Structure 1
Amino acid sequence: MSEPRRPRRPRLPLRLPAWTATLTWKAAVFIAVMCCALAALLGVLVHVAVTNQTVGQARERALSRLDDATKQYEAGGRLGPGAGIDPPGLPDRLRDLAVGGERGTMVGDHDRTPTVWAAGPADGGRAIAVEVDYAQGARTIDGLDRAILGSSVLAIGATLLVGAFAVTRVTRRLHLTARVARRISAGDLDARVHDPRTRDPGRHQDEVATVSGALDTMASSLQGKLLSEQRFTADVAHELRTPLTGLHAAAELLPPGRPTELVRDRVAALRTLTEDLLEISRLDARNERVDLDAVRLAPLAERVVRASGAEVELTVVHDLVVETDGRRLERVLGNLVANALKHGAPPVRLTVDGPVITVRDHGPGFPDYLVEHGPQRFRTEGTTKGHGLGLTIALGQARVVGATLTFTNVAQGTGAVATLTLPSDERPSGDEPDEVRA
């Protein structure tokens, strides 16, 4: 019984290293290929021209000596050195040509020495031929080839160095522009490229300077618009606080009844919205100060669960003491739990596993835009109630304390998971339980 054939593994496509995708490498390869092609073309042209000239001169000398030898032979004189009738070493093709009544020359080797042969017809179906030493001409061509090769290598090396220097200057400016663009996308609206070529309007600008200037202009315009919106939001929220305070006091004086409850509920909602707008404006201004302290995570999570006023499962897998702002951290977790209770479905679970805290519900999950781009203020899906400010505040406060907040969905729409990762130096608490449920 033969063994079953093992399935052949599919061949993975050949992938070049990541550094080969850089502009510097591509420019270096292009310059090297072009230099090699140009050097080869010029070398071939020079080699062919000098070889033709050298061989032509040698052929003329050989034909001149052949004329002298033919005259001596016809006069019955003695042939000089290097001339003879059917001499040994005469190439067969040249002998056949001479026997046929024509004269010709040929470059070859005789006794391992470069030689130029010239042959013509003689009586009796024989050939009279002379040989001219071509060693000096061959050495001249070999020396010329070595000089062409050496100078080509030097020229290619110098061109590569100069080209790499020029391309590196351009790519360095492009990398700077890319870094500034990433800083702007991360929220640093004060970042600018400040390319020297854009400071002088009378100076000619290249493409990189044009892109850098456009990026700086875009960042300035975007910063101005955002600052204007932030000031508008803060001003509106501040202006609303005074009338809302009076409205709240007036609502408390209304007689008991259903209309009074509705008024008080709407006033409370409006006050909460105003406070959220003020908090967001402070976060946007990036002037929040962090009060760091040693905070134990399990008791803080218990306070958040109790403050929610609902049945929330608390699981402490690994308690930890971290250096953070406890008030802001409690605000973040409170908003995450409130969002899970409001938009998700029970059971809602808060899990503490060292510096990683997760809040999971079993509802339909986060909207796709939120998972991809994060929470956006005043944007909700469908008929969902809310202003989209709770998660926005949670994300902003998490950034203030240096934590990372991510939003994901469980497979097949069985819940949403918000994961908060705190910066930690792994300081475990003293009496840490293996698992606690509340």
Structure 2
Amino acid sequence: MVGLALRTGLRWKLSAAIALVGALVAIALSLVVHNAARVSMLDNSRDVQIERLNFTQRIYETTSRLQFGARIDDPKLPKALRAEVAEGRRATYLEDNGEAAPEVWAAAPLDDGRVLSLHNDYPDRFTVLDDLDQALFIGSISVVAAGCALGVLVGGRLSQRLRKAAAAARKLAEGDTSVRVRDEIGGRVRDETDELAHAMDAMSDALQTRIEAERRVTADIAHELRTPVTGLLTAAELLPPGRPTELVRDRAQAMRTLVEDVLEVARLDGYAERAELQDVDLGEFVRRRVRALGPDIEVEIVRDAEVSTDPRRLERILGNLIANASRHGRPPVEVTVEGRVIRVRDHGPGFPEALLREGPSRFRTGSSDRAGRGHGLGLTIAAGQARVLGARLTFRNAEPAVDGTTGAVAVLWLPENAPTATGSFPVIQLPGPPD
């Protein structure tokens, strides 16, 4: 059974919490005030009834007249009250059902052994209790409403600051190292969000310093290797013809290509590259470049488009995607142009799960069937060049065919507007329609 996750904002959670606490406090106080007021009214009713009984007894003993509806030996006199009077004591008794005004009895023994009693319910006095309950109810509703409003106000402010911090963190993840979370959230109030922002900024600075150090080391190593590798390649050209010479030249050329790729990755990681834009007829451009890369590659122009992009970088991306499909997939390799979208597909085992989940990474070739075949730099360079163009490069696997084959699908989405910076689109996996 799949559980359903209810996602609510901090604003509403805080509002609900304040409203709940306010409601509980209001209910508790209302009950305490109601009970205290009722007990006070009942005690006051007993006192009033005793005063009336004393006055009535004096009048009766003097004039033999009864006041306030008093009775002698009332047959309705409660047994408990009658027992108290039988012991020679004045007493009161309440018949309280908790709803209407209670009936208050008062009784006293007479000299002749009879019992003088009064019986009243004082409904006017307990009408005040109804008004008090109504006032307490209105006050409780006002407290809950004020709590909700306060929760929305406070929670909204806090939620807004957290959302700004999350947006700044996303910019950092996309490579914008100039972003500072503390500046993004703003505000004069200093709270836990400021501590979070300072911690994120410190983490960003530390990571950026480490990444920059690693990039410089990589670039320096590659730069230092370029000269001896070039010399090695030149020396290989002077060797006499033969199979050993061909092997040396092949390995020297592979090493030179690796060094150049590492330098290119280092430059792309520095976010210093800029696109040199030209207007390009995308369909014809792709057709010519693919024809030069491999005559067996199928090209389909579904819909042509004119784009403003850097032809050299676009050719680099296209070449790396086709080289990856040819090296790691199976024929036929298909290239499709549909407007501003270029799709490269092979019919091999598809991209490894790690690449689909995390994107391309240098010196990681993916699954075991690709081990030892490439250095993982081709797709990394393609992704970096796509960022410079302001484009988006996505990777996914096609739906399985009847024979069980899938195929890797790389899709390049060129922007509608010419890039003005190094781009900010992340390399992600999109489901897309099956090919």
Taking structure 2 as the reference length, the TM-score comes to: 0.80
Relative to 1, partners in 2 of residues 1:86 and 1:354: Cα closer, same or farther, differing over 3 Å? farther
- Equivalent position of 1:224 in the other structure: 209
**Residue type of the alignment partner of 1:31:** I
> Quick one: percent identity of the two aligned structures?
45
Letter in 1 for 2:230: T
Instruction: Give the conservation status (yes or no) of the 8 Å contact 2:95–2:103.
Output: yes
Tell me if the contact between 2:16 and 2:151 (Cα under 8 Å) persists in the aligned partners.
Answer: no
* Structure 1 residue 45, shift from structure 2 partner: 1.0
Partner of residue 385, structure 1 = 373
Q: Which has the higher mean CA deviation after the structures are superposed, 69-78 or 375-384?
A: 69-78
Deviation at 1:338, TM superposition (A): 0.8
Residues of 1 paired with 2:114 and 2:287: CA distance? 119
**In structure 1, distance between residues paired with 2:142 and 2:237:** 92
Q: Give the equivalent residue in structure 2 for 1:350.
A: 335
| Contact kept? 1:99, 1:126, Cα under 8 Å | no
User: TM-score of the superposition, structure 1-length normalised?
Assistant: 0.80
Partners of 1:223 and 1:14 in 2: CA distance: 38
Task: Provide the C-alpha distance between the structure 1 equivalents of 2:120 and 2:309, rounded to a whole number of angstroms.
Answer: 97
- Offset, 1:318: 1.7
Establish whether residue 32 from structure 1 lines up as the match of residue 46 from structure 2.
no
Secondary structure of 2:182's aligned partner: coil
Paired residues in the alignment total: 400
Contact 1:55 1:137 in 2 (8 A): no
SS of the residue aligned with 1:283? helix
* CA shift for structure 1 position 73: 4.6
- Residue 183 of structure 1 deviates from its aligned partner by 2.0
Structure 1 counterpart of 2:129, from 111, 136, 141 = 141
Given that residues 313 and 348 in structure 1 are in contact (C-alpha distance below 8 angstroms), is that contact kept between their aligned partners in structure 2? yes
Distance 1:191 1:408, change over 3 A: same
Q: Which residue of 1 aligns with 2:414?
A: 422
Task: State the partner residue of 1:188.
Answer: 176
Instruction: Give how far 1:330 is off.
Output: 1.6
Partner residue in 2 for 1:366: 351
Pairing of 1:220-299 with structure 2 (within 5 A): 220-299=205-284
Give the 3-state SS of the residue equivalent to 1:194 in structure 2: helix
2:302 corresponds, among 307, 317, 328, to 317
Whole-angstrom CA distance in 1 between matches of 2:319 and 2:15: 56
Any conservation in 2 of the 1:107–1:114 contact (CA below 8 Å)?
Answer: no
Return closer, same or farther for 1:422/1:127 CA change in 2, 3 Å cut-off.
farther
Alignment counterpart, residue 212 of structure 1, candidates 192, 197, 202: 197
Alpha-carbon distance between aligned partners in 2 of 1:81 and 1:136, rounded to the nearest angstrom: 16
Shift of 1:280: 1.2
Structure 2 CA distance, aligned partners of 1:14 and 1:246? Answer: 64
Change (3 A) 1:209 1:314: same
1:135 Cα deviation (Å)?
A: 4.6
Q: Distance in 2 between matches of 1:310 and 1:196?
A: 52
CA–CA separation in structure 2 for the residues paired with 1:159 and 1:368: 49
Matches within 5 A, 1:101-120: 102=85, 104-106=92-94, 116-120=103-107
Deviations 1:403-434 (A, max 9, x none): 21111123344321111122238xxxxxxxxx
Instruction: Compare 266-275 and 406-415 and name the one that shifted more.
Output: 406-415
What is the CA distance between 1:76 and its match in structure 2?
6.5
Shift of 1:224: 0.4
Partner residue in 2 for 1:7 = none
Q: Is the 8 A contact 1:115 1:131 kept in 2?
A: no
> What's the counterpart of residue 54 of structure 1?
41
Structure 1, 408-417 or 372-381: larger mean CA deviation: 408-417
CA RMSD in angstroms comes to 3.4
Cα 1:98–1:74 shift into 2, 3 Å: farther
Q: Is the 8 A contact 2:104 2:121 kept in 1?
A: no
Q: Which runs of 5+ in 2 are unaligned?
A: 86-90, 418-435
8 Å CA contact retained: 2:15, 2:147: no
